[in-house]
Amino acid sequence: MLSFFQGELVPEADPYFQQIADLRVSAHCVIDRNGQIYQCVDFNQRAWHAGVSTYQGREACNDFSVGVELIGPEEGPFTESQLQALGSIARYLITHYGLKVTDIVGHRDIAPGRKVDPGADFPYAMLRTLL
Protein backbone atom coordinates (compact mmCIF):
# COMPACT_ATOMS: atom_id res chain seq x y z
CA MET A 1 0.00 0.00 0.00
CA LEU A 2 2.56 2.61 1.04
CA SER A 3 5.04 1.81 -1.71
CA PHE A 4 2.46 3.00 -4.26
CA PHE A 5 2.18 6.42 -2.59
CA GLN A 6 5.93 6.65 -2.11
CA GLY A 7 6.62 6.07 -5.79
CA GLU A 8 8.41 2.81 -4.95
CA LEU A 9 5.97 0.19 -6.24
CA VAL A 10 7.65 -3.03 -7.39
CA PRO A 11 5.70 -4.06 -10.53
CA GLU A 12 6.95 -7.65 -10.39
CA ALA A 13 5.45 -8.18 -6.93
CA ASP A 14 1.88 -8.56 -8.20
CA PRO A 15 0.15 -8.75 -11.60
CA TYR A 16 -2.05 -5.78 -10.65
CA PHE A 17 1.04 -3.72 -9.86
CA GLN A 18 2.20 -4.27 -13.43
CA GLN A 19 -1.02 -2.62 -14.66
CA ILE A 20 -0.46 0.51 -12.57
CA ALA A 21 3.35 0.63 -12.72
CA ASP A 22 3.41 3.64 -15.06
CA LEU A 23 1.20 5.76 -12.83
CA ARG A 24 3.16 8.50 -11.14
CA VAL A 25 1.53 8.80 -7.75
CA SER A 26 2.77 9.87 -4.36
CA ALA A 27 1.24 11.51 -1.32
CA HIS A 28 2.62 13.48 1.55
CA CYS A 29 0.61 11.40 4.02
CA VAL A 30 -1.52 8.28 3.94
CA ILE A 31 -4.04 7.58 6.69
CA ASP A 32 -5.12 3.97 7.15
CA ARG A 33 -8.56 2.89 8.34
CA ASN A 34 -7.36 2.85 11.98
CA GLY A 35 -6.16 6.44 11.80
CA GLN A 36 -2.46 5.60 11.59
CA ILE A 37 -0.62 8.34 9.69
CA TYR A 38 2.24 7.43 7.37
CA GLN A 39 4.40 10.29 6.11
CA CYS A 40 5.55 9.35 2.60
CA VAL A 41 6.88 12.68 1.31
CA ASP A 42 8.16 15.62 3.37
CA PHE A 43 5.72 18.54 3.41
CA ASN A 44 8.39 20.76 1.85
CA GLN A 45 8.80 18.46 -1.14
CA ARG A 46 6.57 17.95 -4.16
CA ALA A 47 4.32 14.90 -4.25
CA TRP A 48 2.41 13.62 -7.27
CA HIS A 49 -1.12 13.46 -5.86
CA ALA A 50 -3.22 15.99 -7.74
CA GLY A 51 -2.42 15.47 -11.41
CA VAL A 52 -3.96 17.97 -13.79
CA SER A 53 -5.57 20.41 -11.35
CA THR A 54 -6.49 24.01 -10.53
CA TYR A 55 -7.10 25.75 -7.21
CA GLN A 56 -8.18 29.39 -6.97
CA GLY A 57 -6.90 30.06 -10.47
CA ARG A 58 -3.52 28.40 -9.97
CA GLU A 59 -2.77 25.34 -12.08
CA ALA A 60 -0.54 22.37 -11.25
CA CYS A 61 -1.57 21.93 -7.62
CA ASN A 62 1.25 19.44 -7.03
CA ASP A 63 3.58 22.45 -7.08
CA PHE A 64 2.06 24.12 -4.02
CA SER A 65 -0.22 21.72 -2.14
CA VAL A 66 -0.08 18.88 0.35
CA GLY A 67 -1.69 15.57 -0.57
CA VAL A 68 -3.29 13.37 2.07
CA GLU A 69 -4.78 10.05 1.03
CA LEU A 70 -7.42 8.26 3.10
CA ILE A 71 -7.43 4.50 2.60
CA GLY A 72 -10.86 3.14 1.75
CA PRO A 73 -13.54 3.51 -0.87
CA GLU A 74 -12.87 6.46 -3.14
CA GLU A 75 -16.02 8.28 -2.00
CA GLY A 76 -16.03 7.04 1.60
CA PRO A 77 -17.36 6.57 4.10
CA PHE A 78 -14.19 7.18 6.09
CA THR A 79 -13.68 6.15 9.69
CA GLU A 80 -13.84 8.44 12.69
CA SER A 81 -10.19 7.57 13.35
CA GLN A 82 -9.23 8.71 9.87
CA LEU A 83 -11.08 12.00 10.29
CA GLN A 84 -9.41 12.63 13.66
CA ALA A 85 -5.99 11.94 12.10
CA LEU A 86 -6.79 14.20 9.15
CA GLY A 87 -7.77 16.91 11.63
CA SER A 88 -4.38 16.66 13.33
CA ILE A 89 -2.56 16.98 9.99
CA ALA A 90 -4.75 19.93 9.00
CA ARG A 91 -4.08 21.68 12.34
CA TYR A 92 -0.34 21.22 11.79
CA LEU A 93 -0.51 22.63 8.26
CA ILE A 94 -2.63 25.59 9.35
CA THR A 95 -0.21 26.39 12.18
CA HIS A 96 3.07 25.87 10.34
CA TYR A 97 2.19 26.95 6.80
CA GLY A 98 -0.39 29.66 7.38
CA LEU A 99 -3.19 27.86 5.59
CA LYS A 100 -6.80 28.83 6.07
CA VAL A 101 -9.45 26.30 7.04
CA THR A 102 -11.10 26.90 3.66
CA ASP A 103 -7.90 25.74 1.92
CA ILE A 104 -8.66 22.18 2.98
CA VAL A 105 -10.26 20.73 -0.13
CA GLY A 106 -10.52 17.38 -1.87
CA HIS A 107 -9.33 16.08 -5.20
CA ARG A 108 -12.87 16.53 -6.50
CA ASP A 109 -12.53 20.28 -5.88
CA ILE A 110 -9.25 20.72 -7.75
CA ALA A 111 -9.85 18.21 -10.55
CA PRO A 112 -13.64 18.08 -11.02
CA GLY A 113 -14.84 15.58 -13.57
CA ARG A 114 -11.59 13.65 -13.30
CA LYS A 115 -11.50 12.87 -9.59
CA VAL A 116 -14.38 12.18 -7.21
CA ASP A 117 -12.67 11.71 -3.86
CA PRO A 118 -13.34 12.25 -1.07
CA GLY A 119 -16.97 12.20 -2.22
CA ALA A 120 -19.87 14.60 -2.18
CA ASP A 121 -20.83 13.52 1.35
CA PHE A 122 -17.41 14.15 2.89
CA PRO A 123 -18.00 15.75 6.33
CA TYR A 124 -16.06 19.01 5.86
CA ALA A 125 -18.19 20.76 8.49
CA MET A 126 -17.37 18.09 11.07
CA LEU A 127 -13.69 18.15 10.09
CA ARG A 128 -13.58 21.91 10.56
CA THR A 129 -14.87 21.54 14.12
CA LEU A 130 -11.66 19.58 14.85
CA LEU A 131 -9.54 22.52 13.78
In the DSSP assignment, the letter for residue 117 is T
Burial tier of 55 (Cβ tally within 10 Å: 0-12, 13-18, 19+)? middle
Among the residues of 6-131, which ranges form H helices?
A: 15-20, 80-97, 107-110, 124-129
Respond yes or no: is residue 12 known to be catalytic: no
Q: End-to-end distance of the chain based on CA atoms, in angstroms?
A: 28
The active-site residue, picked from 69, 74, 75, 80, is 69
Residue 71's nearest CA partner among 24, 120, 119, 31 is: 31
At position 78, the amino acid (one-letter code) is F
Q: Which residues are catalytic?
A: 69
